[in-house]
Amino acid sequence: MGQQAGAQDQLFYSFSLETHIPSDHILRSIDRFLHLGALRHHLSSFYSHTGRPSIDPELMIRMLIIGYCFGIRSERRLCQEVHLNLAYRWFCRLNLDDAVPEHSTFSKNRHGRFRASATFRWLFDEVVRSCMAAGLVKGEGFAVDASVVAADASRQRGVPSSQAVDWKDPRLSTAEVESAKTMIDRVEERFQITPERLIGDTAYGTAAMLAWMVDHKGIEPHVPVWERWQRNDDTLPSSEFRWSEQADEYRCPQGHPLRREWRAFKNPRTHITKADTIIYRSSQSDCGTCPLKERCCPKTPTRKIVRSIHEAARDVARRIRMTMQYQRSRCQRKKVEMLFAHLKRILKLDRLRLRGLTGATDEFTLAAAVQNLRRLAKLIPQGPAAPA
């Protein structure tokens, strides 16, 4: 039974941080892809030329990357961890006796110049460029999804809702859909990449979104069509009715037409409803004597079919759904769900710490940049050395 000797009384040490960080440590791999050389230039107009010397912004960014990389959400704890952990010190370019910034410094910079200068967005874009340079991003297909993350809000101060909200209703996914549009436009503007296909769930299958993809952007929609007007009883489905673009009418299984109007109006009407649909109706005289009446429209004198003004785009999505590529896209969509799960469970982003929309944007942008860095480090562990 041995006994530890020595009283830690050595006065001088020969110590190099570089030799104590394992070559396969994740921070070493991340460091190879992290190019912060242009950060000072990006922030130069946000620093004063007078006053006390400030903390190096690169040091704060490196510390924040550590925090998001290892799920250290508290800035106070992050400062303690960087103070104690050799690998963290090495990554932050700190020597053993260098002082670690105060936790309050982060708040000041996060809510001040980092936010005003969109530094986290700049960092995110830089990381995406590194991914592109490493050949991991081509941009031929985008997959989008959304996840619920708790805000830093107090239940006790909440205001009770006057009516229950069905969060699964795709109509409530408007913000989610608009975010996807913003992301696609932003990627196009910053990286000159437009995806060939967009992969998503039913929330992205609304008629307006499909029309935006197909008609406006030329993107293949690999999303299920949201069949809002689909019948759930045993009556004949709309798919049994043949559409004729030329005649602008449907033909029922009995060969009779369903039209948007059955008489000529003095002032021509579009018949487009507020929901951007046109209702096609059969003739009462046709249906009255029809042997299929009980299966077609048992409770109404005529049959009606609601057609979106974006039906052509919806048809494109329906055709894509029959392809093998769509099956592959479904599997690829699962990867986005996995990323959300990783973000929430491993990187501990199941609840936001910063408040407000700008706080949430800051947190997600930084977390996504770090997630991409981790991915780069994992997929290319021996990556290119960062320029000095």
Q: What's the angle, vertex CA 177, arms to CA 173 and CA 183, rounded to 5? A: 145
Asked if residue 253 binds ligand SF4 (CB under 6 A), the reply is yes
Assess contact for 146 and 364: CB atoms under 8 A: no
Assess contact for 241 and 341: CB atoms under 8 A: no
Residue type, 242: R
Asked if residue 350 binds ligand SF4 (CB under 6 A), the reply is no
User: Which one among 25, 121, 293, 344 touches ligand SF4, defined by CB under 6 A?
Assistant: 293
Asked if residue 235 binds ligand SF4 (CB under 6 A), the reply is no
Q: Smallest distance from the beta carbon of 250 to ligand SF4, in angstroms?
A: 9
Asked if residue 307 binds ligand SF4 (CB under 6 A), the reply is no
Per CB under 6 A, the segment of 87-95, 203-211, 263-271, 279-287 that binds ligand SF4 is: 279-287
**Helices first, then strands: H and E counts in the chain:** 16, 8
Compare residues 213 and 296 and give the one whose CB is closer to ligand SF4: 296
> DSSP class of residue 204?
G
Q: Smallest distance from the beta carbon of 294 to ligand SF4, in angstroms?
A: 9
Q: Smallest distance from the beta carbon of 291 to ligand SF4, in angstroms?
A: 8
Size of the site for ligand SF4 (CB under 6 A): 13
Torsion angle defined by CA atoms of residues 216, 217, 218 and 219, in that order, rounded to the nearest 10 degrees:
-130
Asked if residue 305 binds ligand SF4 (CB under 6 A), the reply is no
Per CB under 6 A, the segment of 53-61, 291-299, 312-320, 342-350 that binds ligand SF4 is: 291-299
User: Which one among 290, 313, 349, 354 touches ligand SF4, defined by CB under 6 A?
Assistant: 290
Asked if residue 113 binds ligand SF4 (CB under 6 A), the reply is no
Per CB under 6 A, the segment of 42-50, 171-179, 288-296, 337-345 that binds ligand SF4 is: 288-296
Q: Distance of CA 140 to CAs 118, 248, 360, Å?
A: 27, 36, 28
CB within 8 Å of 50: residues ≥ 6 apart: none
User: Which one among 61, 128, 184, 297 touches ligand SF4, defined by CB under 6 A?
Assistant: 297
Distance CA(371)–CA(42), nearest Å, equals 22
- Measured in whole angstroms, how far is the alpha carbon of residue 191 from the centre of its chain? 17
Per CB under 6 A, the segment of 4-12, 137-145, 146-154, 283-291 that binds ligand SF4 is: 283-291
Per CB under 6 A, the segment of 105-113, 177-185, 261-269, 282-290 that binds ligand SF4 is: 282-290
Helix-strand-coil split of the chain, %, nearest 5: 45, 10, 45
Assess contact for 337 and 344: CB atoms under 8 A: no
CB within 8 Å of 182: residues ≥ 6 apart: none
Region 26-65 residues binding ligand SF4, contact defined as CB under 6 A: none
Asked if residue 252 binds ligand SF4 (CB under 6 A), the reply is yes
Assess contact for 198 and 223: CB atoms under 8 A: yes
Compare residues 243 and 340 and give the one whose CB is closer to ligand SF4: 243
> DSSP class of residue 272?
B
Region 360-379 residues binding ligand SF4, contact defined as CB under 6 A: none
Beta bridge partners of 279: 306
Distance CA(64)–CA(388), nearest Å, equals 21
Compare residues 71 and 237 and give the one whose CB is closer to ligand SF4: 237
What residue ranges bind ligand SF4 (CB under 6 A)? 252-254, 256, 282, 286-287, 290, 292-293, 296-297, 303
